[in-house]
Amino acid sequence: MGKAKKRVNPKVTSRVDRNLKELTVKTAVKYTRLLPPPWEPNRRGRPQEFKTQTIVVLCLFMVAMNLTYDGMAAEMRNPYLMELLQAKRLPSRSSLQRYMSKLSQKYVRRFNKRLIGKFLRSGVIVIVDSTGIRLKTSSSWYDIRIGRKNQRRDNVKLHLAVFPHRNVILEYKITGYKRHDSPQLDFLLRNMKEVLRVIGDAGYLSRKNCNIVAKKNGQPFFHLKKNTTAKGKGSTAWKKMIRFAKQFEEVFDEIYHIRSLVESVNSALKKRYGNYIRATKRRTRNVQLAFRVVAFNIKQLLYDSTARKLGIPYWVRCDQ
């Protein structure tokens, strides 16, 4: 891996990072108001004590700040959260854990789609990739106590479609670690009517994926293997990509190497929120991982809006 040539403007990051907690809560409140509640209240029994909007914002805030439930309970003692949420009282850690398990990925996807709606316009460049997230499904302390060397591969795959101009995650999918990348492309592009280019590594190289990109009026740029041939087998998009790659090798490589930007997104996700998930139940685990995507997008959008407000460039060279 080479060194980065550009970064987000430090004048922008410093403005956002110093007030990140308040800005995250305000942004979350803004978009939860635009969505229907994630669940309908029970008609029987005691009515729900807290607004669903407050619960969603607190769950998202906990993931965005990379807090445990105990850490979130301590954070909720600070008065600024009640002021921002306009609540007289906040739920306990056990209540928050119970509400987190009630949330669904469907709701989080709606939230993310509403959040990054302006980037889902026609003619965008999309980079696709996947990264592994470790799971905490077994006790390391117990393994040490009984003298066992645990060989279990407990992890999941997070598949991403990224808009490189602002490093915004347009779509995501969570699968098991044994799932291949290639079949996930259709799902990752489902919310985009038209694309300009789709860039991916050799894991996405297939005639079917070339056809998927061509149907959206885009050009595929997938890394070629040594044994790749120009035989279309009914795929015109495949033939065009192979011929272009061989006739204009330097141009193809220059376009393809934009793919390195998605590695910075994978790295940033793990540095901000950790490379593992604490939740043990699959539903809660997937919701927390999906909230990481939303929290990441919120921060990127805060950077974008701040740069526009200050009238300064979003990207600057690393030597500046």
Residue 162 sits in a domain whose CATH number is: 3.30.420
For residue 136, name the pLDDT band (cuts at 50, 70, 90): confident
Based on the fold, state whether residues 176 and 286 are members of the same structural domain: no
The least confident of 50-54, 149-153, 209-213, 292-296 is 149-153
Residue 1 predicted with pLDDT over 60? no
State residue 143's pLDDT score.
73
Residue 47 predicted with pLDDT over 80? no
pLDDT tens digits, 250-304: 999 999 999 988 999 999 999 999 888 888 888 999 999 999 999 999 999 999 9
Q: Is residue 276 part of a domain?
A: no
Q: Is residue 56 part of a domain?
A: yes
State residue 178's pLDDT score.
87
Q: What span, in angstroms and rounded, lies between the C-alpha atoms of 253 and 258? A: 9
Based on the fold, state whether residues 63 and 14 are members of the same structural domain: yes
Based on the fold, state whether residues 187 and 252 are members of the same structural domain: yes
State residue 320's pLDDT score.
66
State residue 188's pLDDT score.
96
State residue 135's pLDDT score.
84
Q: What span, in angstroms and rounded, lies between the C-alpha atoms of 11 and 307? A: 8
Q: Is residue 190 part of a domain?
A: yes
CA end-to-end distance (rounded Å), the chain: 21
For 50, the domain range is: 6-113+281-317
State residue 150's pLDDT score.
64
Q: What span, in angstroms and rounded, lies between the C-alpha atoms of 263 and 181? A: 15
Q: Is residue 269 part of a domain?
A: no
Based on the fold, state whether residues 128 and 91 are members of the same structural domain: no
Based on the fold, state whether residues 159 and 202 are members of the same structural domain: yes
Based on the fold, state whether residues 184 and 303 are members of the same structural domain: no
Averaged pLDDT of the chain: 90
pLDDT tens digits, 200-258: 999 999 999 999 999 999 999 999 998 888 888 889 999 999 999 999 999 999 999 99
For residue 151, name the pLDDT band (cuts at 50, 70, 90): low
The phi, psi pair for 259, rounded to 5°, reads: -55, -25
Based on the fold, state whether residues 166 and 89 are members of the same structural domain: no
Query: Among residues 221, 237, 263, which one ends one of the domains?
Result: 263
With CA atoms as reference, report the closest residue to 189 among 213, 168, 210. 213
The least confident of 72-76, 90-94, 139-143, 212-216 is 139-143
Based on the fold, state whether residues 293 and 313 are members of the same structural domain: yes
State residue 119's pLDDT score.
87
Q: Is residue 78 part of a domain?
A: yes
Q: Is residue 273 part of a domain?
A: no
For residue 139, name the pLDDT band (cuts at 50, 70, 90): low
Based on the fold, state whether residues 30 and 97 are members of the same structural domain: yes
State residue 319's pLDDT score.
74
Number of domains the chain contains: 2
- Six-digit token string for 140: 């390391």
Q: Is residue 268 part of a domain?
A: no
- Six-digit token string for 79: 């008065």
Based on the fold, state whether residues 126 and 255 are members of the same structural domain: yes
The phi, psi pair for 148, rounded to 5°, reads: -105, 140
Those residues with Cβ within 8 angstroms of residue 264's Cβ, 6 or more apart along the chain or in another chain: 4, 167
Q: Is residue 274 part of a domain?
A: no
Based on the fold, state whether residues 246 and 302 are members of the same structural domain: no
State residue 168's pLDDT score.
95
Based on the fold, state whether residues 185 and 312 are members of the same structural domain: no
State residue 291's pLDDT score.
97
With CA atoms as reference, report the closest residue to 219 among 190, 199, 249, 189. 199
State residue 137's pLDDT score.
65
